[in-house]
Amino acid sequence: MKLAFKMKLKHGCKSEYKKRHDEIWPGLVALLKENGVSDYSIFLDEDTDILFAVQQQAGKSSQDLGSNEIVQQWWAYMADIMETNPDHSPQSSPLTMVFHLD
């Protein structure tokens, strides 16, 4: 199943966001893959600082792994450059697919 959602990057944080994801923690990558997350991409609309994420999931989505310690650490690490909830999880909104072409 394909899942898409959006998040909000703080203005001027594009380079830092990309740097942190270029250096994503191996333990976090392993957790995502172990839980069936694959083909995960995040795009940035530079006019609005909106992040658009899409991922394939065969189990849990990345959005369902918040009780895991490494995810909580990642959220805290990213909180200074993203709009977040009080627990540091990214403020995210699911998106509805309205068209798909294979």
Rounded average pLDDT over 66-81: 96
Render pLDDT for 8-54 as a digit per residue (tens, 0 to 9): 999 999 999 999 999 999 999 999 999 999 999 999 999 999 999 99
The 10 Å Cβ neighbour count of residue 75 is: 17
* Class of the CATH domain delimited by 2-94: alpha beta
**Residues designated as active site:** 21
DSSP 11-44: TT-HHHHHHHHHT--HHHHHHHHHTTEEEEEEEE
62 pLDDT band, cuts 50/70/90, is confident
Residue 70 CA from chain centroid, whole number:
14
Assessment of whether the complete model's pTM goes beyond 0.95: no
Domain borders along the chain are 2-94
Which pairing describes strands 37-45 and 2-8: parallel, antiparallel, or unpaired? unpaired
| pLDDT tier, 63 (very low <50, low <70, confident <90, very high otherwise) | confident
